[in-house]
Amino acid sequence: MTISGSSAVIRSAMRLDAASPGTMALWVGGNGQAVCYRYQVAIRAGSGASPIAPARVEPASSAAALFETAAAEPLAITGLASSARYCVSASFRAHVHDLGRVEANNRVTITFDSDFNPVAGVALIDVAARRQVYYSDDNTGGADQPRLSFSAPQGGTMALYVAAASGTPGCYRYKVEVQ
């Protein structure tokens, strides 16, 4: 990973071995400073299998302008249900939704409306402090619907993961409330 700040270029590499299959998300923080970054991911299957081609993402050409305007935008989705309808396949591959930042002690509630039995998890990560908490649920919302409700023990960025609990495909909407 290469992170370019106003006065320095930092190169960093991570190697992770997954103990089980699943969906991953990458969090990058600037320790309180706006930064631009590039990353490259190479996923290699277990021994004897062919590697999967690396994905490369380039930063936007006007990244500095994006940072300046982002400060005026809301930091988390609140209130109304998502305007989109999302669907998952029977592959156990989760959709990942960026929910933005919450502060410590904010009350977070995520509810669902779906036509199948989804399982949901939310990760709350403070990249700078290297702390993370995870919550997951299957049926607390009733009628085979997940419901995630917690008081944030720390400030951080949230990501929502949604997959089919039984491997049966289906579609859903979600609503996030932050108080």
Q: Where in the chain is the domain with CATH 2.60.120.380?
A: 86-178
% residues pLDDT > 90 (the chain): 42
- State residue 165's pLDDT score: 82
For domain 86-178, the CATH class is mainly beta
Q: Among the listed ranges 67-71, 82-86, 137-141, 166-170, which one has the minimum average pLDDT value?
A: 67-71
- State residue 115's pLDDT score: 92
- State residue 170's pLDDT score: 92
pLDDT tens-digit series, residues 97-120: 999 999 999 999 999 999 999 999
pLDDT tens-digit series, residues 58-93: 444 444 444 344 433 434 445 555 568 899 988 778
Bridge partners (DSSP) of residue 82 are: none
66 membership: H or E segment, kind and range = helix 63-70
- State residue 158's pLDDT score: 95
How far from 142 is each of 117, 136, 146, CA to CA, in Å?
10, 15, 7
Amino acid at site 18: A
